[in-house]
Structure 1
Amino acid sequence: MTRFQRRRFLQFASAIGLAVGLGSLTPATRPSYAQAAPRKLALLIGIDEYTNPQIRPLRGCVTDVELQRRLLRDRYGFADTDILTLTNGEATREAILGAIAQHLVQQSQMGDVVVLHFSGHTTRDVIADGNCKSGDCWIGALLPTDAELWGEEFPPSAITRSDLEAALSPLATNNLTMVLDVLYGGSFASNGSGFAQERSFFKGVLLAASTVDQLSAEVRLEERYAGAFTHTLTQHLWQQSGTESFAEAMAAVIPATEALARENRIVQTPVLVTARADDAQQPIYFTAPLVPTETSPTTRPSARSVTRQNHC
């Protein structure tokens, strides 16, 4: 039986303000000669507001999109025209699947770099296909802005892990990074033990904010909220002077995210799941960062006192 949950909030009393991105950089353009540089495509989705008033709103998902957009554009050389964002009412089931097909699948070629980010509500259900020997084999589903309430099955508008597999399988490139700042993140790559499996169901790399049975936190910055995982990940990458692999970056991001949650008696452990054995050693986002021209912005919370709100 599915249960509707939401990301749990951590409200900080005071904090340093959200970052202002670096000065505009010249957008990376695709050369016209035969040995074209890899194109960098991103689809960033953040949903704080749901059309059904019975679904509680979130607070930091749209901010997550902005943090990720600035990082990809100013630190990793993604062109503005190659970054598509869908927020709140724009992020319907039809729009999300259509953007995956048209912006990512149809435009990407072999060797290109693709990033798919989702921050918002999710749900999960037990797999009933006979492959699991216990009741802890889960499959996750993203909830678009037009999600309905439901009973014992996924709502019709849910985008299940199987839907994502089908939508992303035609990608010509294996250089896909999928970032899910959601609860039950491991349910998008789980096995019968209930923990994230060694290999991803998707091409490339999955970075999930939590394991199959965990909530995910939102931190309050000075004026806005952000997902604890997205906040920690983007701020860590802003501070690096050179190229880091997925494994190296997550070795720092995982304990930093855990610490924010643990201090407030919430257990949240981000996970790194790969499709190929050597993907964890590839540069994060499958591309090297640009050399920074200014001091990197910081948005680290400066206080630990919190008010926690009950989840649905």
Structure 2
Amino acid sequence: MLHAVVVGIDHYVDPFVPRLRCAAKDAQTLAGLLEERIERSERKVLLLLDAEATQRNIMAAIGDDLHRDLEQGDTVVLYFACHGSPERRAARDRQSRYLIPHDAEYGRIHTTGIDLERDVVVWLDRLSDAGLVVLFLDACFSGAAGGRTFTGPALASTPSLAKYLDDPRPISIKKLHLGRGRVVLCAADDNQLAREDPALGHGVFTHQLLQALKRPRGERTTVGLTELYDEVERGVRQVTDGAQEPVISILSGRRASLPCLG
């Protein structure tokens, strides 16, 4: 079984959090592709957009509902198109990276955001029955102006911020050898912006990801995650003239794959 939790947030409750333009469409397109191409009985796709994508709903969907629903060896895809933000911790020279849910408070990012170091580690622990977990982040954490990031108040006054900074039939995953592992693909390095392109109608990273997932691969039924990353990274770097370079973190499972969705 393939389980997916797909999150896209353009609009935020707090007026100090800038709006995005393409994040919700990014999530809708990816969720639609999974629903269209994977056998209905072999996938469960949850789409959370804007007001549905609160901190509580996201944490419950992954940490509670998905945790209970998993069976041994299932595949999990987690996808976020939203703002990211760096935020200082207790020590003045320490900071963490946060995904920003719809109801996050600008002045309380530590308590109302989703901490990548703390919360994602808990997710991976609670999803331990899954054979493969892939986390896609079309967000960035530079804190610079523009793109899918902003600086929280605890860092905004920090002078040294810069240093941080062709077969139409549904696919049966029962017949695919996806491997095992824990892999994170992020749209940009920590000091870069994750860009949106209104001409594409998507974030640059998500556009390239969708193109790579849909690319015909002859008789092959899967695409390795390192191969997928290479294609996405090359496309993003070309479109942005090298200003944005996606990052892959392979926690385990270098031979892990996803279904070809073309």
TM-score by length of 1: 0.65
Question: Cα offset for 1:79?
Answer: 5.2
Pair 62,252 (structure 1): closer, same or farther in 2 beyond 3 Å: same
> SS at 1:169's partner residue?
helix
Does residue 65 of the first structure (1) align with residue 47 of the second (2)?
Answer: no
Are 2:98 and 1:141 aligned?
yes
Alpha-carbon contact 1:43-1:103 (below 8 Å) kept: no
What's the CA shift string for 1:47-104, capped at 9, x where partnerless?
0000112222101111111221123223344659710011001111111101112332
Letter in 2 for 1:244: V
Shift of 1:168: 3.4
Pairing partner for 1:165 from 110, 121, 135:
121
Between 44-53 and 71-80, the greater mean CA deviation after superposition: 71-80
2:147 corresponding residue in structure 1 = none
Question: What is the aligned partner in structure 1 of residue 60 from structure 2?
Answer: 98
Contact 2:2 2:43 in 1 (8 A): no
Equivalent position of 1:11 in the other structure = none
Alignment-derived partner of residue 256 in structure 2: 282
Which of the two has greater strand per residue?
Answer: 2
* Mapped contact 1:76–1:289 kept (Cα < 8 A): no
The alpha-carbon distance between structure 1 residues 43 and 219, as it changes in their structure 2 partners (threshold 3 A), is same
Q: Which has the higher contact order (CA 8 A, sep 6+)?
A: 1
Decide which of 31, 35, 51 is 2:13's aligned counterpart. 51
Conservation of the 8 A alpha-carbon contact between 1:217 and 1:228: yes
> In structure 2, do the counterparts of structure 1 residues 76 and 269 end up closer, same or farther at CA, with 3 Å as the change threshold?
farther
Q: Is residue 2:99 matched to residue 1:154?
A: no
Matched with 1:178 is 135
Q: Note the C-alpha offset of 1:138.
A: 4.8
Structure 1 residue ranges without an equivalent (≥5) = 1-38, 186-192, 196-202, 291-295, 297-312
Q: Are 2:214 and 2:260, in contact at CA under 8 Å, matched by a contact in 1?
A: no
Task: Determine the C-alpha separation between the residues in 2 that align with 1:52 and 1:194.
Answer: 25
Q: Please say which structure displays the higher CA radius of gyration.
A: 1
Q: Which amino acid aligns with 2:183?
A: V
Matched, 1:227 2:212: no
- How high is the sequence identity, in percent, across the aligned residues? 27
- The SS at the match of 1:101 is helix
Aligned to 2:195: 217
Give yes or no for the alignment of 1:244 onto 2:220. no
Contact residue 93 and residue 157 of structure 1 kept, 8 A: yes
Structure 1 194/175 Cα, relative in aligned 2: closer, same or farther at 3 Å?
farther
Note if contact 1:147-1:155 (Cα within 8 Å) is conserved in structure 2.
no
The whole-number CA distance in structure 1 between the counterparts of 2:122 and 2:15 is 30
Two-structure CA RMSD over aligned residues (Å): 2.6
Deviation sequence 1:109-146 (CA, Å, 0-9, x none): 2200011111111111356679xxxx5x7521111111
Please state which structure has a larger fraction of its residues in helix. 2
1:211 is aligned with what amino acid? D
Give the whole-Å Cα distance in 1 for the aligned partners of 2:48 and 2:90: 32
Q: What SS does the corresponding residue of 2:47 show, helix, strand or coil?
A: strand
Matched, 1:260 2:217: no
Question: Deviation at 1:271?
Answer: 1.0
